[in-house]
Amino acid sequence: MTELNILVTGASRGIGKAAAQELSGRVYVTGRDENALKLCDSAGYCVCDLAENIDVLAGFIEDKNIDVLVNNAAEYIYGAIEEASKEDIQRLYAANLMAPAYLISKAVPHMKSKKWGRIVNIGSISGVMGEAYAGLYSSSKAGLIGLTKALALELAQYNITVNTVNPGWVDTDMGRNSAGEFSTEEIIETIPQRRFVEPVEVAKLVKYLVSEDARGITGQSINICAGLSLGI
């Protein structure tokens, strides 16, 4: 197979950065922080806020003939639902669910023509289990799981796989900052393995799902949460 054209969203830090470093091919990155993107060892980058100027990235996808799309970028809001503004709700769903769907729609024509493609959506254990005071985030990630299942059926005949990876607590800025009123020690007590997942662990799972070894895996929602989904 020729060298793959890969796009990772939200690649300036955390899981996205780890995935971009782990994947092999012409890896393109996107995010809001141009300075951080410049520091990535990538084939190129596109500065984009998924909730504001997504058409810029849509054009980039069509221009680069993306074979592998990793939808990683996301917004997180912690707070009671009655405190969420209309703007909060619109922005979170735009970034977390509408953007992945739209970017997939732009990547699929090339994948279909090639009869090969890989789409990996980064969900969350919150989309599997639900998270109090993070209803917007949880529901957007649950929607991503539903989108994954439907598109896996729709695209299977074209040798395009679609899967969702659901991290639990990950040792990233977003993971640490989304703790709300809970301390790190209190969070760790809720995790069976008593640790945060490392970004590289998620990245290696993404790498496997992109590989030919995983060609029979599609439509799946895979948890990587140090046992969090099982209870204490």
Residue 209 — left, alpha, or beta (φ > 0 → left; ψ -120 to 50 → alpha)?
alpha
CB 30 within 8 A of CB 45: yes
Please list, in sequence order, all residues whose beta carbon lies within 8 angstroms of the beta carbon of residue 223, skipping any fewer than 6 positions away.
Answer: 125, 128, 166, 168, 229
CB 19 within 8 A of CB 71: no
- Distance separating alpha carbons of residues 170 and 79, to the nearest angstrom: 20
What the block records as the tokens of 231 is 């209870």
According to DSSP H, which parts of the chain are helical? 14-22, 34-39, 54-64, 86-93, 99-114, 125-129, 135-155, 173-177, 184-189, 199-210
- Distance separating alpha carbons of residues 176 and 183, to the nearest angstrom: 9
**So which residues are the catalytic ones?**
137
